Amino acid sequence: MTVERILPTAEAHDLLDLVRDLIGKEVAPRAVADESAGRFPREVFTVLGRSGLLGLPYPEEYGGAAQPYEVYLQVIEELAAGWLAVGLGLSVHTLSCFPVAAYGTAEQRAELLPEMLGGELLGAYCLSEPQSGSDAAALTTRAVADAEGYVVDGVKAWITHGGVADFYTLMARTSPDGGRGISCFHVPAGTEGLSFGAPEKKMGMRSSPTAQVRFDGARLGPGALLGAEGEGFRIALAALDGGRLGIAACAVGLAQAALDAAVAYAGERRQFGSRVIDFQGVGFMLADMATQVAAARALYLDAARLRDAGRPYGTRAAMAKLFATDMCMKVTTDAVQVFGGYGYVEDFPVERYMREAKVLQIVEGTNQVQRLVIGRALAKGTAAS
């Protein structure tokens, strides 16, 4: 069903109409075949970019659309409902652009952002490593300064768009000083010494490549540094606050798709002479699913409005990511149950939705990390009420 949305402007309503039209024509029709084949839909992101969707929350002067996060995230939700790989891919790209937009010099923004936001380039975000996922401050990839810039050595792991992105936003160690020794860099895909592992063989999201990104003496010019040396960990955390809201929106979109499929099936399937939806056991299950989806949507939008108002929102973003992704796992699992045996076969979409939902509890900080963030804020008395 079409979600009834309260949007801040008429322009935002037109934008959501455009997104739904693109999903119907360019996104949803190819999702099943591309997921089955493990085929990355690069051209879909080009279409999104040329439609103005790859730079929604960024300034118009650099090719963005200057939309509030409240609107941007609802675009993500709609895309994820049509095809999670595309919704999540847009979220990752937006995350990858953030350090240039927020911490780059005027020259870096003018040089890099127009192509990054205009649809010609697609980004990836390189923070996690094989031995440092949740403990990001323990990363070991090194960027050693010399007279010509930096030389980078190390391996990044679990990188969405690894091997297919046009640029990589890299967090690397420039000093041994823990979190204060990490810096942020912009790395074009053609950089010498940059290579990639084979795509991971995943439970779901098979059309979205996830791979190691390897740096073997990769040389970066001095202009590759974003922000000051040692500021990278702060940049990474700021980026992840927004990224977690993107994942929350993805989770709501995927859960909405599962709910819609379950309601439609239960309304058509007949057992014992009645529609399945008319049995109280199924009707109550669907009612709980719908309530949980609506609650998760309200929570991520609340966090987005805090961000748009310039108020602290990191704890609320962690809450939204935690609640929405746990909700999505439950709702997609229940959707399979509504379908019965048919839910367990690839002929119906809920089988794929359930497999895809699991990764949302892991990416952008596991849900255990989200609980840690929220608990620490409560202990400090800084959690929003």
Question: Which pLDDT value is given to residue 253?
Answer: 98
192-231 tens-digit pLDDT = 999 999 999 999 999 999 999 999 999 999 999 999 999 9
Question: Which pLDDT value is given to residue 160?
Answer: 98
Residues ≥6 apart with Cβ < 8 Å to 11: none
| Rg of the chain taking only CA atoms, in angstroms | 21
40: phi > 0 → left, psi -120 to 50 → alpha, else beta; which? beta
Question: Which pLDDT value is given to residue 122?
Answer: 96
Phi, psi of 83 (to 5 degrees): -170, 110
Q: Do the Cβ atoms of 384 and 306 come closer than 8 Å? A: yes
Containing H/E element for 45?
A: helix 42-50
Give the integer Cα–Cα distance in Å for 253 and 250.
Answer: 5
Residues pairing with 118 in the sheet: none
Question: Can you give the pTM of this predicted structure?
Answer: 0.96
Residues ≥6 apart with Cβ < 8 Å to 79: 19, 23, 27, 86, 87, 90, 253
Containing H/E element for 254?
A: helix 232-268
Q: Do the Cβ atoms of 127 and 139 come closer than 8 Å? A: yes
CA 10 to chain centre: 26
**DSSP calls for 51-108:** TT-TTTTS-GGGT-----HHHHHHHHHHHHHH-HHHHHHHHHHHHHHHHHHHHS-HHH
Clarify whether 364 is annotated catalytic: yes
- CA distances to 55, 66, 241 from 58, rounded to whole Å, are 5, 5, 16
The SS3 assignment for 302 reads helix
Give the integer Cα–Cα distance in Å for 87 and 74.
Answer: 10
User: Given 26, 129, 351, 364, which residue is catalytic?
Assistant: 364
Residues ≥6 apart with Cβ < 8 Å to 336: 343, 344, 350, 351, 354
Question: Which pLDDT value is given to residue 285?
Answer: 98
* Residue numbers of the chain with a pLDDT score lower than 70: 384-385
Residues ≥6 apart with Cβ < 8 Å to 1: 260, 263
Q: Around Cβ 43, how many Cβ atoms within 10 Å?
A: 10
Give the integer Cα–Cα distance in Å for 321 and 64.
Answer: 25
Question: Which pLDDT value is given to residue 120?
Answer: 84
Question: Which pLDDT value is given to residue 90?
Answer: 97
Question: Which pLDDT value is given to residue 384?
Answer: 58
